[in-house]
Structure 1
Amino acid sequence: MRKIKKIHKAVNAPMGDLVTYRAMPTHSVEYIDPFLFLNHHGPQVYKPNNQGLPFGPHPHRGFETLTFILDGDITHQDTGGGKDVIEAGGVQWMTAGSGLIHAEVSSEKFKKEGGPLEILQLWFNLPAKYKMVKPAYVGLQKDKIPVVKEDEGKVKVNVISGTWASTRGPIPSLSDIHMASIELQEGGSITTSIDPERNIFFYVVRGAVNVNGEKVEKLHLVEFANEGEEITIEATEDSYILLGHAKPFNEPVVAHGPFVMNTEEEIREAFRDYQLGKMGSWEE
């Protein structure tokens, strides 16, 4: 069995009226190479005639984002040409690469009608050789994400990138990052094996599970050691988890605000390029 190193609780980090828990970085875990950051927004209910999500135009360079929309929606727009509205059950994968400006706000319909909202955003680092690739964006609604059912249908694995069993996710990853979200009914269980060379990202969004015999409740991140391969997950109540894995890059990580590079000079260059308009100009 894969050895558990530590279980970390997400910290409460509200953003105005947006309920937010930050699972990484916190005082107890900085990052799990190449997984850099996770914000968990919600769950909460917005009233009609609300302001929606607060993420207006801002730049990024040097990494990728994967956004899970569990409830509510996101209107995405970026200077690389990406633009759409993704609804509950869908995901968005953005490669910031050499740099772009994007906004993630609620649709006009959501702002007018309100409703439940729960959204998670995970950041992946890019290795030095890919930091300046051309930006890219993929948005997928729920029906475009393949589902693998296990344990007589008590477990549903939504395969986003990489493979699960023989099912390949629809989003190609530059860095061979495998990502899935897993929905488990109470009593459902699943076992998988992950090469000990690969680092694991494991976060419980909803519910509670036993992982290799240890109880993990919602809003907790599991940090695994690089020993053993097998992971067994058993749901003690209806649960939703994020599970990913990748080989660590073992490169310097220098992060400053919206940019993640390998050196301080590259961060300064990112700010200069943004100010010079090299990441595009914003048009509503």
Structure 2
Amino acid sequence: MTLLISPRTQDIGFTVKRLLPSRLRQRVGPFIFVDHMGPAQFEPGTTAGDVRQHPHIGLATVTYLFSGAMMHKDSLGVHQRIEPGAINLMTAGSGIVHSERLPEDVREQNTVVEGMQLWLALPTEVEDCEPSFAHYGAEEIPSVNLATLSAQVLIGKAFDVESPVKTASVTTYIDFALGAGAKYVPNFPQQELAIYVAQGNVTVNGEEVPEFHLAVLSENDVIETVSGARILLLGGEPLVGERYIHWNFVSSSRDKLKAAGERWTNGGFAMVPGETDWIPLPV
């Protein structure tokens, strides 16, 4: 283990634990943003937890829920409900606008909403690509069950299975349920890797990784748990070049970030059909 990153609490309409970007490290492989959302419940008849329409460039968002549901709408006209176990992959490229809202049934039933929101920085050669959206249902995501662990291979290849989720660069994202006494050694040559402990406690080479912390791994690190845990393995091949972040924008160019902000302020992005409220560019 080369680095242990503690969570920072942020309020985006509900509480999230933010791991990346960190002052200690900006990204792991293509992952440049890692939020653990919730768990949270929302009052019926309110808009608490809704994220109004806002723009992105130069990245792909990956949404994965543990519980509850969210409704995605974007400027391409996509209207998609996401539920636990599914993957939403929205590639912003040259620019996209989207909103994320809580379905009414989730509010009415006081359902707990919890999950992961991540961003993948795009390779420089495709960071200005046409925007796109893809949804993969939970039934499409391959799973593996071994003696002391089970895994959902969300993105990439592992345990002789391959996820159908297509990304712009080599990416690994796996949801592990570790049983008591589990031991696991990741083997993904040429990739940068980290684990996020979503529940429970694990050790890496005997060193404790507490709940809600992100541990950046070294080659041949041994991950173990005594009583069981839920961890997310994430990473991929390193991207070439610098990446800059401003608000919801990621780019290899500071000038592109500034231009994107001006474009949003001046109404230059296509908006989500049927929606009128939006989040202003932070001052």
1:38 shift after superposition: 1.0
Q: Structure 2 unaligned runs (5+)?
A: 275-283
Q: Could you tell me which amino acid in structure 2 is paired with residue 188 of structure 1?
A: A
Q: Could you tell me which amino acid in structure 1 is paired with residue 101 of structure 2?
A: V
Is residue 94 from structure 1 mapped to residue 90 from structure 2 by the alignment?
yes
Is residue 129 from structure 1 mapped to residue 125 from structure 2 by the alignment?
yes
1:50 shift after superposition: 4.6
Residue in 2 that maps onto 1:205? 198
1:192 shift after superposition: 2.7
Greater shift after overlay, 59-68 or 4-13?
Answer: 4-13
1:198 shift after superposition: 1.7
Q: Could you tell me which amino acid in structure 2 is paired with residue 216 of structure 1?
A: V
The CA RMSD measured in Å over matched residues stands at 2.0
Greater shift after overlay, 99-108 or 112-121?
Answer: 112-121
Partners of 2:74 and 2:24 lie apart in 1 by: 33
State the TM-score, normalizing by the size of structure 2.
0.89
Residue in 1 that maps onto 2:99? 103
Partners of 2:172 and 2:56 lie apart in 1 by: 22
* Alpha-carbon contact 2:123-2:168 (below 8 Å) kept: no
- 1:1-284 matches, within 5 Å, as 4-16=1-13, 18-150=14-146, 152=147, 154-195=148-189, 197-225=190-218, 228=219, 230-275=220-265, 278-284=268-274
Greater shift after overlay, 246-255 or 41-50?
Answer: 41-50
Identity of aligned residues (%): 26
1:19 shift after superposition: 2.1
**Cα distance change on mapping 1:167 and 1:52 into 2, 3 Å:** farther
1:22 shift after superposition: 0.8
Partners of 1:80 and 1:201 lie apart in 2 by: 33
Partners of 2:137 and 2:84 lie apart in 1 by: 8
**Cα distance change on mapping 1:69 and 1:186 into 2, 3 Å:** same
- Match of 1:265, SS? helix
* Alpha-carbon contact 1:202-1:223 (below 8 Å) kept: yes
* Alpha-carbon contact 1:70-1:119 (below 8 Å) kept: yes
How many residues in Structure 1 have an aligned counterpart in Structure 2? 274
**Cα distance change on mapping 1:271 and 1:15 into 2, 3 Å:** closer
State the TM-score, normalizing by the size of structure 1.
0.88
Greater shift after overlay, 121-130 or 205-214?
Answer: 205-214
